[in-house]
Amino acid sequence: MAERPAIVWFRNDLRTEDNPALHAARETGAPVIPIYILDKDIAHFPGAASLWWLHHSLSSLAGDLKNAGAKLIYRSGKSADVLKSLVKETNAEHVFWNRRYYAKHVEIDKDLKSDLKAGGVAVETFNGTLLREPWEVETASGGPYRVYTPFWKALKQLGPARAHMRPNLRKIVGPANPPKSEKLASWNLLPVNPDWATEIAETWSPGEQGARDRLNHFLNDNINDYADGRDRPDKDFTSRLSPHLSFGEIGPLQIWSAVHDKMADGKVSDKAAMKFLSEVAWRDFSYNLLFYNDDLPDKPLRENFANYPWRDDRDGLKAWRKGETGYPIVDAGMRQLWRTGWMHNRVRMIVASFLIKDLLIPWQKGEAWFWDTLVDADLANNSASWQWVAGCGADASPYFRIFNPVSQGEKFDPEGQYVREFVPELKNLPAKYIHAPWKAPESVLEEADIVLGKSYPNPIIDHAKARERALEGYKEIKSA
């Protein structure tokens, strides 16, 4: 190869637009080699639903890169070894990537960077994932925020790290003879026998174009309902950008600037825009927590929670996973997750509270199930949110705030449309009883063709008693 190439290592930044690492590689003027490495040994390897998404996202990225002029190389193995050998094989002069924030991933990146630099390779890394780097948003006395509201205030004041990079239409010139690549299909990321992803495939369009379409749809049709309607699972008022953000098919800076453009045009109210951006900023906050707390995915931030009297309730866990708890809003959420790979935020809070506080099952079990089944599974958001619901995280919901699955259902799914969609065996039940079918008179159940305990389960636990039990457990760790 005459001119020494520049390698771009793609990770959770599967996009061509507003991608600082790709941009820097292109700016060198050298031939660009984009690579994705499947590293099965990495800590927190993606779950099954994420692998489904990854397959399609990579295929879409490869198409976009090909159109722009470069071939995406697929290789598998220990990421640092694979990258070092690619550098050697191609005599690359530069390596670029966008940063990661989980200690075990940061360690790989740091070691690799110093090894490559020692070998004379120029390595540059960027922020392609967050509005601001964790170390850029610090309290007045230095150090990270542990409470969200002042964090958001500080972030808003600082604004995003840089302007959104406008689409670069210049060709990305790849080498005349690209390095060898494995075949994406040979990675077997898609489920077979059974293929459980049919409805997931009907629901989502992974890839950068899918992300753009999703954002445009949200900004044109839904954002003005967001502030008041975002808690309603029966409505389509949230952006559903989460899987696209998790895989970096779109970055928060692009979202930030698109929302500001709409505001400037007078198409979006300040209230709606700021509410939405403040939720996008929760994602930055979760990444801060992950960056500063190595054990966030595994251990409670409030250490006394490690001694909570959890129960080993396998039947309860199974019923929860399958959406057969007898509480319709919980079951609808768990079935939405299984069928579509996603769950509405309000319902995520309800089902998480039910697992942790009604069933007394450790939050890590719920976190693991979400990790495997969510298409938007994100290490920072998932761990921070589970710790938040459990009451053991930073700025967590107080432990004694225990969601009542019946009143939550009545408040946020008042007509029961969400339950009807995902728990079809209850679809004929009048709204009055849909969140508590056991309260319905026999005649109403009969009319709706429901036999409790047969066509739909009785509640697996009495919520009022479970609540008392959970509070007792909390007293124990508080006094210990």
In the complex, least distance from residue 392 CB atom to ligand FAD, rounded to whole angstroms: 13
Among the listed residues 197, 352, 361, 392, the single contact to ligand FAD using CB under 6 A = 352
Kindly indicate which of the ranges 22-30, 122-130, 180-188, 370-378 contains the residues binding ligand FAD, using the contact rule CB under 6 A: 370-378
CB–CB of 177/306 below 8 Å?
A: no
Q: What is the DSSP string of 269-296?
A: -HHHHHHHHHHHHHHHHHHHHHHH-TTT
- The separation between the first and the last C-alpha atoms of the chain, rounded to the nearest angstrom, is 67
Q: Which is nearer to ligand FAD, 95 or 380 (CB)?
A: 380
Which residues, numbered 287-346, are part of the site for ligand FAD (CB under 6 A)?
Answer: 345
Chain mean position to CA 415: 29
Which residues, numbered 452-471, are part of the site for ligand FAD (CB under 6 A)?
Answer: none
Chain mean position to CA 348: 12
Amino acid residing at 349: M
In the complex, least distance from residue 252 CB atom to ligand FAD, rounded to whole angstroms: 8
In the complex, least distance from residue 347 CB atom to ligand FAD, rounded to whole angstroms: 9
Q: Which is nearer to ligand FAD, 79 or 385 (CB)?
A: 385
**Catalytic entry in 279, 324, 410, 421:** 279
Q: Which is nearer to ligand FAD, 90 or 286 (CB)?
A: 286
378 binds ligand FAD (CB under 6 A): yes
Q: Which is nearer to ligand FAD, 181 or 345 (CB)?
A: 345
Tokens in use for 358? 């009604």
In the complex, least distance from residue 303 CB atom to ligand FAD, rounded to whole angstroms: 21
370 binds ligand FAD (CB under 6 A): yes
57 binds ligand FAD (CB under 6 A): no
Q: Which is nearer to ligand FAD, 282 or 292 (CB)?
A: 282
310 among known catalytic residues: yes
Q: Which is nearer to ligand FAD, 47 or 416 (CB)?
A: 47
Among the listed residues 35, 189, 349, 440, the single contact to ligand FAD using CB under 6 A = 349
In the complex, least distance from residue 286 CB atom to ligand FAD, rounded to whole angstroms: 5
369 among known catalytic residues: no
Tallying the residues shown for the chain, one arrives at 480
240 binds ligand FAD (CB under 6 A): yes
- The vertex-209 CA angle with 206 and 214, nearest 5°, equals 75
Tell me which H or E stretch contains 178.
Answer: none
Q: Are strands 6-10 and 73-76 parallel, antiparallel or unpaired?
A: unpaired
13 binds ligand FAD (CB under 6 A): no
In sequence order, the 6+-apart residues with CB closer than 8 A to the CB of 366 are 320, 351, 352, 355, 356, 386
Q: Which is nearer to ligand FAD, 90 or 242 (CB)?
A: 242
Number of Cα atoms under 13 Å in the Cβ half of residue 92: 30
406 binds ligand FAD (CB under 6 A): no
51 binds ligand FAD (CB under 6 A): no
386 among known catalytic residues: yes
Residue 265 DSSP code: T
Among the listed residues 376, 404, 450, 457, the single contact to ligand FAD using CB under 6 A = 376
Distance CA 101, CA 182 (A): 28
Q: What is the DSSP string of 2-35?
A: -SPPEEEEESS---STT-HHHHHHHHT-S-EEEE
Q: Among residues 353, 351, 360, 350, which one has the least CA distance to residue 321?
A: 351
Chain mean position to CA 179: 32
9 among known catalytic residues: no
Chain mean position to CA 170: 32
Among the listed residues 14, 51, 70, 389, the single contact to ligand FAD using CB under 6 A = 389
CB–CB of 211/241 below 8 Å?
A: yes
Chain mean position to CA 303: 25
282 among known catalytic residues: yes
Q: Which residues have a catalytic role annotated?
A: 279, 282, 310, 345, 363, 386
Residues near ligand FAD (CB under 6 A) are 230, 238-242, 245-246, 279-280, 282-283, 286, 345, 348-349, 352, 370, 374, 376-378, 381-382, 385-386, 389
